[in-house]
Structure 1
Amino acid sequence: MSLPTHGRYDYTPITQRPDFDWPGNKRLAVYLGVNHEHFAFGAGKGAQIGNAEPEPDVLNYAWRDYGNRVGAWRLIDLLDDLNLPATVLPNSEMYDYAPALMAAHAVRGDEVAGHGRTNSESQSGMSEAEEAAMIAHCSDVITAHAGQQPKGWLSPWIAETEVTPDLLVEAGYSYTMNWCMDDQPVWMRTRSGPLLSLPYGQEINDIPAIVGRKTGAAEFADMIIDNFDELLDQSVAQPLVFGIALHPYIVGQPFRLRQLRRALNHIAQRRDDIWITTAGQIAQAYAARIPPPVS
């Protein structure tokens, strides 16, 4: 029996891959993916704290907007306190809606990766031309404000069409965070050349954990700590990546921020044993050590 397949990558067990070290002879690379999202008012779609009401759903819209107005700034303070870099994943609409927030990340020197125009839309229903235009628009907005074209992409809702990886390469992207199949980067095939899949947390991600599975703040912090400690132990055998996915309207709530502080402080205390960096630097380092296979 032959099942349909994506054809993007081959199966290779993590125990049978080339060994290497991250910069500084480190074995575990850690990055924070901070999502900044803006939603169309009265248009639906988005994480919910309570039952959705007929539009305009003021409760859930305003709850999400708390992240842009308050939670994100508290999170930046926390990152500054612990001297932690971040990969920022903003909807391109954030540059118009909350320019001061995006400017604050620019001052920090954080990497900016593409994350669609708005999480009020999903690219999975787009035609190829529409999707290509959307990706190009996001790239142009980020380039105009950040001064360089983004190299990484995370789709809103992790939604793709059959040609999304192809379009990303054709738009100048070198890595994607959509595919969560590994603890190491994985080279993917596209019609226009290789694209690197970078590990992005779907278990250690506040939306699936807290909104989806109703995980408590302390439990989510424990998940981060346990995942980190276990990966650090496992990294003796294989170099690994730990990406922590955060949304300020969730972890920026004061009681959750207190617990996140505990978890990130635990990681920061081991900074001499790990490589704390950005997603883009991980992708660049991996490509230098493990070039894409010849097609």
Structure 2
Amino acid sequence: MSLPGHGRYDYVPIDRRPDYDWPGGKRLAVYLGVNLEHFAFGEGAGAELAPAVEQPDVLNYAWRDYGNRVGAWRMLDLLDRLDLPATVLVNSAMYDYAPALLEAHRRRGDEIAGHGRTNAERQGPLPEPEERALIEEATDILTGAEGVAPEGWLSPWISESHVTPDLLAEAGYRYTLNWCMDDQPVWIRTRAGRLLSLPYPQEVNDIPAIVARKDGARDFAEMIIDNFDEMLEQSVAQPLVMGIALHPYLVGQPYRLRHLRRALAHVAARRDDIWLTRAGEISRYCHETLADRLV
């Protein structure tokens, strides 16, 4: 029996690939993916603190909006105190809704990556012309605001159609965070040439951990610490990438932020042993230095 496949990449075991180093001879690259999201009021998708019973769903909308009004600013302070870079995954609707927040990340020199228009919608079900228009609209807004086109894309809800990688490559994107199948960057095939798939976590990610599995704040912090320590040991054998996915309406809550601070301080304390960077810098290094060494 032959199962349907995607044809985007080949199966290559991680211990049977070319070896390489990250800059400075480092073996583990670590980046933070901070998701800044805006949601429609009274309609559309959105994570829930409690099951919605009617619209307008004031409870869940306001809970998510706490992240933009309070949680994200507390996280900015945490990033500054620990001197941590970030890749900011931005709904383009944020530029109208909370421009001061984007300006704060711009002043830090954080990377701005595409994250659709809003997390109230999914792009996967859209017909190809509408999905192309979604990508173009979000990209144009980010490019106009930042003065440079975003290099990377994370679909809202990791929602893809059969042609999403093709559309991203055709729109000029150099990397995608949608595919979580590896701990190393992997080339994926598109009809416009190669697109880099960078590891984006679905385990060390506060939405699956806290919203889906109901893990506590301490549990999520320990997950970050244990994952980091284990990958640092594993990276002796193979160069690896560890992402940490964060949403301010979750980890920006005070009791969760306290535990997140402990976890990120643990990572920051080993900055001399790792490449503490941004997703876009990993992508550029792969394109410019490792193009023929990645599977």
- TM-score bin (small chain): over 0.9
CA 292–96 in structure 1, closer or farther in 2 if over 3 Å, else same: farther
Q: Is 1:205 equivalent to 2:205 in the alignment?
A: yes
Match of 1:177 in 2: 177
Q: Quote the offset at 1:251 in angstroms.
A: 0.2
Question: Displacement of 1:128 after TM fit?
Answer: 0.6
Aligned partners of 2:44 and 2:121 also within 8 Å: no
Q: Counterpart of 1:25 in structure 2: which amino acid? A: G
Tell me how far apart the structure 2 counterparts of residues 286 and 237 of structure 1 sit (CA, whole Å): 19
Query: What residue number does 2:190 align with?
Result: 190
**1:6 has 2:28 as partner:** no
Q: Which residue of 2 aligns with 1:152?
A: 152
Amino acid at match of 2:271: R
Partner of 1:35: 35
Q: What SS does structure 1 have at the residue aligned with 2:114?
A: coil
Q: Aligned residue for 2:242?
A: 242
Q: Secondary structure at the match of 2:141?
A: helix
Find the residue that maps to 1:124 and give its secondary structure: coil
Please name the residue that 1:215 is paired with.
215
1:139-160 CA-to-partner distances (Å, cap 9, x unmatched) read 1100111110001000000000
How far apart are the structure 1 equivalents of 2:63 and 2:243?
25
- Tell me how far 1:289 sits from its aligned partner: 3.2
What is the CA–CA distance in structure 1 between the aligned matches of 2:142 and 2:44, rounded to whole Å? 25
Where does residue 55 of structure 2 map in the other structure? 55
1:293 is displaced (CA, Å) by 8.4
Question: Hey, what does 1:258 align to over in structure 2?
Answer: 258
Pairwise CA distance, 1:105: 0.4
| AA partner of residue 137 (structure 1) | E
Paired position in structure 1 for 2:270? 270
Shift of 1:287: 2.2
2:120 maps to 1:120: yes
CA contact 1:187–1:292 (8 Å) conserved in 2? no
Q: AA paired with 2:183? A: D
Please give the secondary structure, in 2, of the residue aligned with 1:84.
Answer: coil
Please tell me the residue identity of whatever aligns with 1:191: R
Deviations 1:211-246 (A, max 9, x none): 000000001000000000000000000000000000
Letter matched to residue 158 of structure 2: I
Query: Residues 209 and 215 of structure 1 are in contact (CA less than 8 Å); yes or no, is this contact kept in structure 2?
Result: yes
RMSD: 1.1
**SS state of the match for residue 124, structure 2?**
helix
Measured after TM superposition, the shift of residue 264 of structure 1 is 0.2
Q: 2: CA distance between counterparts of 1:70 and 1:245?
A: 18
For 1:107, the aligned partner's letter is R
What is the identity, as a one-letter code, of the residue corresponding to 1:214?
K
Residue 288 of structure 1 and its aligned partner are, at CA, apart by 2.6
Amino acid in structure 2 at the alignment position of 1:187: W
2:282 matched residue in structure 1:
282
- Name the counterpart of 1:291: 291
Alpha-carbon distance in structure 2 between the residues aligned to 1:45 and 1:138: 18
Structure 1, 279-288 or 67-76: larger mean CA deviation: 279-288
Task: Tell me the residue number matched to 1:102.
Answer: 102
**Alignment partner, residue 22 of structure 1:** 22
CA contact (8 A) 1:114 1:138 kept: yes
Task: State whether residues 44 and 57 of structure 1, in contact with CA within 8 Å, keep that contact through their aligned partners in structure 2.
Answer: no
Q: Which runs of 5 or more structure 1 residues have no equivalent in the other structure?
A: none
Give TM-score, length-normalised by structure 1: 0.98
Structure 2: distance between partners of 1:10 and 1:292: 15
